[in-house]
Chain A
Amino acid sequence: MSRPTASESNDRTEWVRQAVATHQRSLIRYVISLTGDSEAAQDIAQETFMRLCSQSKEALESHLGAWLFTVARNRALDYLRKGDRVSSLTDAQLESRREESPNPADALETRETVNNVIALIDRLPKNQREVVRLKFQNQLSYQEISEVTTLSIGNVGFLLHTALRTLRHQLAQLDRRSRPARD
C-alpha cells in the first residue's frame, strides 16, 4: 500500500458519510421490516455503518448496497435470536393473522392503496416478503438478494415469482372492489 495521506482520510469520511446518507433510510426501513423494532433498527444501522468504516472501499466498490444489507440482516437475525425484541410479531403470529383473514382484500377494502399494498406484502410468507422488499424497495438484483439472504439465485427468482403472482391476484381483487365500473 502506498503511503496514505490526509486526503485519503477525508475520502474515507466522505465515503462513509455518503454511504450513510444514501443508504440509511432504506437500511433502517429494511431492518424494521425484519425486527419490527425501530430502536433496534437504529442500533443495527449504526453498527452496520461502523463496520463499514473498517472495510476497504475498493473491495466493496459497486457492491456497497448488498454489503450493507447483508451485515444489517445478520445483525437483525442475531438480535431476533437473542429474543430480546419487544414489539415485533413472530412468524407464527403473522401466519395466524394471515389465516384470520382468508381474503385480505375484504379486510382492506376501505384503506388507502399504499397501506393495502404493504399490508398485502406483510401477509406473504416471511421469505417472500423479504425478497419482495429487497427487490422492489431496495432495488437489489437477484444476485445481490442471493448474497444478502444466502438463498440461491434460482430460489430468489422462484420466491419473487410466487409472491408476484399472489400479489397480482390480490391487487386485482382490490382494484375491482374499489372501482366498481369502468364506464
Chain B
Amino acid sequence: MKLTSHSSELTAYALNEVTVEERVLLDLALAESPELRTEIAALRHVSHTLATQLNLEPSAELEPERLDAVLKKAANPSGSGQDTAPAPPSALNWFSQLWTGLTRPVVGFSLAAATALSIALALWMPWKEPKDKALAEKLTPQTTNRADATPELPSTPKAQNERLLVSKAAKRVAGRPEVALDGATTGDPQRSEVEAIRLKQLGAPLGHADLQSARKSLTDADLMARYALQPRVEIEGKSDSRTTKRSTRFEPDLGPEFSAQKNTFRSAVDAPVSTFPIKTDTASYAEVRRSLREGIIPPTNAVRLEELVNYFPYDYALPVGTNAFATHIETADCPWNTDNILVRIGVKAREIEPNKQLRVSLVFLVNVSNSMIAENKLPLIQESLGSLLDQLTPRDSVSIVTFAGDSRVTLEPTLVAERMVIQKAIDSLRAGGETHDGTGLQEAYAKATNRFIRDGINRVILCTDGNFNRDSTRSDELINQLSKKTQNGVSLSVLEYGDQTPRDTRAKVFADRSGGSYTSVDSIAEARKVLKREVRGPVETVAKETKVQVEFNPTQVATWRLLGYENRQPKDLNSQTNRPDGEDVESGQAVTALYEIVPLARTGTKIDPSNYGATTNAAGLISKGASSSTNRDLFNLKVRYKEPEGTVPRLIQVPVAGPSQDRDEVAATADYKFAAAVVGYGLMLRDSPMKGDLNWEKVLRLAEEGLGPDREGYRAEFIRLVHRAKGLSGR
C-alpha cells in the first residue's frame, strides 16, 4: 500500500473505518513511518476535539405536543395519529374503579386485556401505509389536525382504549426521572399507568399541563443523562478540596496508618533487606489519568508510584536457560538528586510459547443506561476493560457496543496492537442513556454478531448491572438467538456489576437461560480475574512461592528507599519470613521497582563493615565475600522461587554495583529514563518532599528522552498527561 500523509486511508484508519485486513496492512505501513504515525496522532487529536466540541452544541427536544402526536401514532400506526389526549371517558369509570383497588401486576394484566382487541386489530395492519383505508378509519377516531385543538369526545370503546394507551405512554415519560435520579431502575411503568388512570378518574384530562410537566421531567432526566459525569465530578470535587489543602502541606489527607507506612529513607544498617511483590496493580494510572482529564490534580493517595510505573511495558528480555526469571537492573545518578543513585530493577518471568493461542475476538456489550453511573458499575467496567488489554495479544481484536435505549457501536473491531484506540474508546464510555427494555441489547447483539472472526475465539461479554432487560418477551427472543450463537462457537459471559445480591437477578437468570457464564463483579481485582479467565482460560503459572529480595550492602549504601508499594510493605523489613508463601507468577509477568539509594561514599562517612557483622550475615551479603572491604556492590538481588510442580527451592542471585563514574553520562537507557519520568510524575503529583530539585520540565525531558519506539502509544499519551498535570498544577 502506497501511503502519504495526504492519503484519506489515514483518516479512515484514525477513525476506525477500516476492515481488520486493511488495518493490518496499515499497521505495517505505520510501523515503518514515523511521519505517518504523527499524522495519525494528529488526525485523532482533531477528531477528538471535534467530537467533544460538537457534542457540547446545544439542541432541543421534540415539543411535547409533537411527542404526544408521535406516540399516538406509534400506538396506532395505521391511524392518522393526530389525536390529542382525551377527557376521561365516563364509560371507563367502572374499569378505573376496579383498577384503583388492584395490585400492580393485575393492573398491567387488566390494561392489556382491555386494550387487546383494538390493539390487536391495529397491529394486525401492515406497518407500511394501510392498504385498507376503510378499516383504518373504522379503527381510528376522527381527528383534528392540530395537536392542541380541542379533542373530540371519544365515541367508541376502542377509541377510548387507544387514548388510554397514549396517556400511558405520556405518563411513562413522566415516570422516567425517578429512574435517573435515584440511579436505579425504580421507575415502574405499571405504577405510572395506575397514576394515569387515577388522573383520569379524577376527571383531570392528561392535557397540556401534564405534558409540560412530563417534558420538564424529561428534560431533567436528559440533563442527568447528558451530564452523567456529574456525580463523579462531585466526588472528585471533594478530592479537589483535599488536593488544594494538601498542596500547601505534605499529604495531610492520609490516615495515620498510611502516613506511618510512607516510604522514607531507611538505614542499610538497620534495614538491609527490602522486598517488593512481583504482582502489581496498575489501576492508579487510569485513576490519575481520569482525574487529570477532568481537570483535577488527583488526591495524593490516588497516586501510587508502583502502579504508575508498572502500567507501562518495558523492553525486558526473557530469561535464558532454565531460569524462570530474567533480571534487568540499571543504576544511574538520581535525576532529582544527583547525590543519590536511582536503581531500576526489572524482573521478567518466562513466557510459555503462545503458539497454541488462537486469535481472540471480544465484543463487549456494555450497559450505559442511567443506572450504571455508580462508581462500582461503569467506572469499574472501564477500569477492568483497560486492564484486560494487557492480557490480549496484538493480534486479538476488541469491539465495544453500548446499549441503553438503543445501541451504538462505540468501537469497531480493533486489533489490540492499536491499544490506544481501544483505550480511548473505553475512556469515552459514559452512563446516562435511557433505561432499556431489551431493544438496545438486542440491537447491540445484532451488531456484535456481525463482528466475529472465523477461526478464533469469539466471545460476547455482557457488562451490566442487575437492572437489566426487563422485558421478558424480548429477553426470550434474545436468549433464543444467543443459544443458537453459542452452538456456533460464540460464547457469552455475563458480568454483573454493582453491589447486588447475585442470586436471581435478571442478569443471572439471563445468563443461565442463554447458556452463558455468570459472575458478579464488585472490585477491580475480581473483574480482572474474571475477565482473564473468561478470555484465555487459566493462565499458565511459571513459578510458585516467588519472593524478590534486595539486600543492601551497608559498606556501600548509607540509606535507601523503595519508591511506591507503601501499603504493601511488610511491617518488619528485616524479617525474611513475613511472606512465607511468596507468589505464583504467570507466564510473561513482569515487574519494575525503583530504589533511591544514598551511597555511603557520597555522604563522606566511613564505616567499618566489621561493626555490622550480625546484620550483614542476616543479609547474606558481606559474609559471602571473603573480604567485605573488597565488596563494592550496592546490593544483591535475589529471586527465590520454585518450579510450578517442583519442591526444590531455586535462587537467582545478582550482585549489583553502583554506576561506574566514567559512563554516567550515557548510561541510562530509554526505559530507565522513562521509568524515572513516571516516578517523577508521581512525586510531582504528590508534591512529595522527597522530590529534590525535580520539576515538571525535568519530568518532561526524561519522558521525551525515554520515549523509545513506543509502538502502542502509551508513552506519548503519558507525555500529554504530564503537560496537562503541569498546566493544572500551575508550576
CB <8 Å contact, A55 and B67:
no
With A5-B116, A64-B406, A64-B443 as known contacts, state yes or no: A13 contacts B62, CB within 8 Å.
no
CB <8 Å contact, B433 and A3:
no
Task: Tally B residues with Cβ within 8 Å of A.
Answer: 79
CB <8 Å contact, A46 and B169:
no
A157 interface neighbour in B17, B74, B406, Cβ under 8 Å: B17
Interface size of A as a range = 35 or more
CB <8 Å contact, B123 and A9:
yes
Per the bound structure, the CA–CA distance linking A96 and B471 in Å amounts to 54
A13 interface neighbour in B11, B78, B169, Cβ under 8 Å: B169
Per the bound structure, the CA–CA distance linking A161 and B172 in Å amounts to 43
In the complex, whether A7 has a CB less than 8 A from a CB of chain B is yes
B46 interface neighbour in A55, A133, A168, Cβ under 8 Å: A168
In the complex, whether B638 has a CB less than 8 A from a CB of chain A is no
CB <8 Å contact, B128 and A54:
yes
- Shortest beta-carbon distance, B140 to chain A, in Å? 13
Per the bound structure, the CA–CA distance linking A55 and B63 in Å amounts to 22
> Chain A contacts of B408 at CB under 8 A?
65, 139
- Which of chain A's residues has its CB closest to B162's CB? A9
With A6-B119, A7-B473, A18-B405 as known contacts, state yes or no: A62 contacts B443, CB within 8 Å.
yes
> Chain B contacts of A61 at CB under 8 A?
442-443, 446
Question: Of B63, B73, B81, B173, which is in contact with the most chain A CB atoms at under 10 Å from its CB?
Answer: B73
> Chain B contacts of A151 at CB under 8 A?
none
In the complex, whether B60 has a CB less than 8 A from a CB of chain A is yes
In the complex, whether B501 has a CB less than 8 A from a CB of chain A is no
Q: Which of A78-86, A101-109, A113-121 contacts B (4 or more CB under 8 A)?
A: A113-121
CB <8 Å contact, B57 and A13:
no
> Chain B contacts of A160 at CB under 8 A?
8, 11, 15
Determine the main DSSP class of A at the interface with B.
helix
**CB-based A-B contact count at 8 angstroms:** 207
CB <8 Å contact, A9 and B165:
yes
- Shortest beta-carbon distance, A76 to chain B, in Å? 15
Q: A residues 29-58 with Cβ under 8 Å of B?
A: 29, 32, 38, 41-42, 45-46, 49-50, 52-56
In the complex, whether B437 has a CB less than 8 A from a CB of chain A is yes
- Which of chain B's residues has its CB closest to A64's CB? B406
Per the bound structure, the CA–CA distance linking A139 and B443 in Å amounts to 16
> Chain B contacts of A98 at CB under 8 A?
none
With A9-B165, A24-B62, A28-B62 as known contacts, state yes or no: A121 contacts B127, CB within 8 Å.
no
B119 interface neighbour in A1, A9, A26, Cβ under 8 Å: A9
In the complex, whether A77 has a CB less than 8 A from a CB of chain B is no
A50 interface neighbour in B81, B165, B406, B434, Cβ under 8 Å: B81
CB <8 Å contact, A121 and B54:
yes
Q: 1/0 per position for A154-183, CB-CB distance to B under 8 A?
A: 000110111011011001000000000011
In the complex, whether B43 has a CB less than 8 A from a CB of chain A is yes
- Shortest beta-carbon distance, B60 to chain A, in Å? 5
Per the bound structure, the CA–CA distance linking A16 and B63 in Å amounts to 15
Per the bound structure, the CA–CA distance linking A168 and B40 in Å amounts to 12
CB <8 Å contact, A9 and B66:
no
In the complex, whether A141 has a CB less than 8 A from a CB of chain B is yes
B74 interface neighbour in A17, A25, A64, Cβ under 8 Å: A17
CB <8 Å contact, A4 and B15:
no
CB <8 Å contact, A29 and B53:
no
Per the bound structure, the CA–CA distance linking A173 and B170 in Å amounts to 49
Per the bound structure, the CA–CA distance linking A121 and B436 in Å amounts to 34
- Which of chain B's residues has its CB closest to A29's CB? B59
CB <8 Å contact, A118 and B54:
yes
In the complex, whether A132 has a CB less than 8 A from a CB of chain B is yes
In the complex, whether A69 has a CB less than 8 A from a CB of chain B is no
CB <8 Å contact, A9 and B62:
no
- Shortest beta-carbon distance, A75 to chain B, in Å? 14
With A22-B434, A54-B129 as known contacts, state yes or no: A183 contacts B697, CB within 8 Å.
yes
> Chain B contacts of A121 at CB under 8 A?
50, 54
Question: Of A64, A160, A162, which is in contact with the most chain B CB atoms at under 10 Å from its CB?
Answer: A160
CB <8 Å contact, B50 and A50:
no
In the complex, whether A8 has a CB less than 8 A from a CB of chain B is yes
Per the bound structure, the CA–CA distance linking A21 and B677 in Å amounts to 47
CB <8 Å contact, B70 and A20:
yes
CB <8 Å contact, A26 and B59:
yes
> Chain A contacts of B81 at CB under 8 A?
50, 53
Per the bound structure, the CA–CA distance linking A19 and B6 in Å amounts to 39
> Chain A contacts of B116 at CB under 8 A?
5-6
In the complex, whether B10 has a CB less than 8 A from a CB of chain A is yes
CB <8 Å contact, A12 and B15:
no
CB <8 Å contact, A45 and B62:
yes
A46 interface neighbour in B12, B69, B218, Cβ under 8 Å: B69
CB <8 Å contact, B75 and A13:
yes
> Chain A contacts of B58 at CB under 8 A?
29
In the complex, whether B398 has a CB less than 8 A from a CB of chain A is no
CB <8 Å contact, B120 and A117:
no
With A42-B62, A49-B70 as known contacts, state yes or no: A167 contacts B46, CB within 8 Å.
yes
- Which of chain A's residues has its CB closest to B407's CB? A62
CB <8 Å contact, A19 and B66:
no
Per the bound structure, the CA–CA distance linking A46 and B471 in Å amounts to 27
> Chain A contacts of B54 at CB under 8 A?
117-118, 121, 132-133, 136-137
A142 interface neighbour in B12, B55, B129, Cβ under 8 Å: B12
Q: 1/0 per position for A117-132, CB-CB distance to B under 8 A?
A: 1100100000000001
With A4-B124, A6-B112, A18-B434 as known contacts, state yes or no: A168 contacts B12, CB within 8 Å.
no
With A18-B439, A45-B62, A53-B81 as known contacts, state yes or no: A161 contacts B11, CB within 8 Å.
yes
- Shortest beta-carbon distance, B511 to chain A, in Å? 23
In the complex, whether B222 has a CB less than 8 A from a CB of chain A is yes
> Chain B contacts of A45 at CB under 8 A?
62, 66
> Chain A contacts of B697 at CB under 8 A?
183
Q: Which residues of B contact A (CB under 8 A)?
A: 6-12, 15, 17, 42-43, 45-47, 49-51, 53-63, 66-67, 69-71, 73-75, 77-78, 81, 112-113, 115-116, 119-120, 122-124, 127-129, 165, 169, 172-173, 218, 222, 404-409, 412, 433-434, 436-437, 439-440, 442-443, 446-447, 471, 473-474, 697, 723
Which 4 residue pairs across A and B have the least CB separation, nearest first?
A4-B123, A16-B74, A161-B8, A9-B119
Mind listing 20 A-B residue pairs with CB under 8 Å? A5-B120, A6-B112, A6-B115, A7-B473, A12-B77, A13-B71, A17-B172, A32-B59, A42-B66, A46-B69, A53-B74, A55-B127, A118-B57, A132-B54, A136-B54, A137-B54, A141-B412, A157-B9, A157-B11, A182-B723
